[in-house]
Structure 1
Amino acid sequence: MAKASNRIDGLRLRHLRVLELIDEHRSLRAVGQVLNRTQPAVSQMVKDLEYAFGVELVARSVRGVGLTPAGHVALERARSGLSSLDQLAAELKISPSPILRIGTNPALIFNLLPATLRILDAGNNAVRYRVSAGVVGDILRELWDGRIDCYVGRIDWNHIPKTVMPSLRHDPLTHTDLVLACSKNHPLAGRSDIDIAELADWPWLLPPAESNNRIALETELRNHGVILPQPMLELNAGPGSLLTLTHEMQVLTLTPRFMLESRLAVGEVVALNIPGFALPEIQVGFVTLAEYETMASVRNFRQALRQAAEALTGEHGRPCQLANSDPL
């Protein structure tokens, strides 16, 4: 271990940039031009990297150079480190106050995230926050690329590369149902005898086809022999916009149950009661990279998240699934 540590200590930031440039340009000469180094100097940097890590990172052929499988793994980790350094440099230029970069899903901006920020604000934290909301897969890629520090939201483990999993730390937080919903004035509202086949007879307002919620809905309908018609309106926006339109239109949609208790929907958009029809629960968790979990801002945010999740789950009368931070 000591020998490996000594080898790594000899590396510099430009050594890590070499991997990114090789993956982009596929030529040592082109990499040298970017770094203002000769081709032999770049070749030596590659040898330094391979010596430090004890594995071949770059494959050479008559067509140029490319990263080996181990090289791609090293590049993934190097990108997060380089991105963190870029973020640090930007922060220090603007203000000495640290910025915590948070990724989340749009729905959580309506309950869990504001509850968490209220807890942190009560503790007089000197941290500033930058929140990015988006599709699960896109936000998680931002995490392991180093563009955000942590993520809170729905986690689709099937779309996380196995090479990335050992570097992640995860806290389960809570869960919610995914339900079908409509305006309180819709003909299906309040009925307890809805047949699943009837769902194909009504216009739908849905998120994009690649969204996890849309996929879950179409899968459950197919399990009952029902093919969902093309939606009347496909909305690539947050659940707030979806519920606002559902309130105004005679359409069916799907949403996390807790959104029906938000100010946008309460009393105006209602869940459908369909015997024999059940969508999977949405599991909500917190994820960060192993190298970030010791950051004070990350630790404080995670602790506040757990407090907020427990309080919100208690309000809704459902058991809260909490656990210690564990490697995946």
Structure 2
Amino acid sequence: MSSRLSRYLGVLLVGWVSLPSSGQAGEAPASDAFEAWLRPPVPPADGFAPVPGSSRAPAGSEVRALAHGRVEAVSPEGRSLTLEHFYYENHELRRVRSEYAELEAVTLRPGESVTRGQVLSRVGAKGRLAVSLHAGKRLSAAEARSFTQARARLPLPASEPVLLLVSHAGNELRLYEQGREVERVEVGFGQAEGPKQVRGDNRTPVGMYFVVQKHRGTFTGAYGQYYGGHWLRVNYPNLWDAERGLAQGLITREVRDRIARAWEERKATEASTRLGSGIGFHGWAGEWSLEETGGRLSWGCIVMHNPDISRLFDRMPEGAMVVIF
């Protein structure tokens, strides 16, 4: 993911997508939040090509799709079409539309899938091309350029060798290998509700992170027993946490830049800021249940049952993507 992304975060607000109900081929049941997040109706974008910088274009020249997506609509006269794109940003699956006008006759039909760079049609006889992006609203030319520049490369979680998806609402972790679910287990979270904001708030964050440290064995100190013999640290804070911290005056721009670089390299990020740190997976000092605890156990970490983390520890390698939503 490009480091330039951080410069454009906050320019656009794009809400959670509203996924279609089940019943169409390839779509996940709407009731399964994990599958709905991981498998959108069409393959998600792996990045966006730049929006054309000028509306002047030679008549008959090729017009190509900005990203993977599907045809949402074609005008009755076949001179324009709209594509729908899904993409991942932090812990969210988002949706944006691209529109292409002043074309020759479009032969694609609604529902057809397209790939990034695929020829959609050709520029019409007037030699003018109109390409726009819609993310809740029609973006200005400057916003559209910023949007595509910041998202030239995007993550594809289903293609990760190892992926950990964690649901706050479901108190559940699912482990995927090459996009295939291999385990699902119950988990607990921080003692306080809501996404983590600052050090000491006892909340578990939401976001996309990576495993950066592992330890199995004895833990010393007053709280050593609460690790349950296992520890997997993730690189909280991430890029989006850093952007929030910068906006709130919690960190400096220099610190934000360091966090962004380390996170993109799947390395440990700053551990001494007011945003907090030390978030990861661990076991517990004995058995626990959702009924007795409500799943509110830790100071912000994700708590697993000791037999579960013992069994899965070796299948959760450093560098593995972790998405908490």
Which category describes the TM-score, using the shorter chain as reference length? under 0.3
Higher helix share: 1
- Name whichever structure is richer in strand by fraction: 2
Larger radius of gyration: 1
What TM-score does the superposition give when structure 2 sets the normalisation length? 0.24
* TM-score of the two chains, using structure 1 as the length reference: 0.24
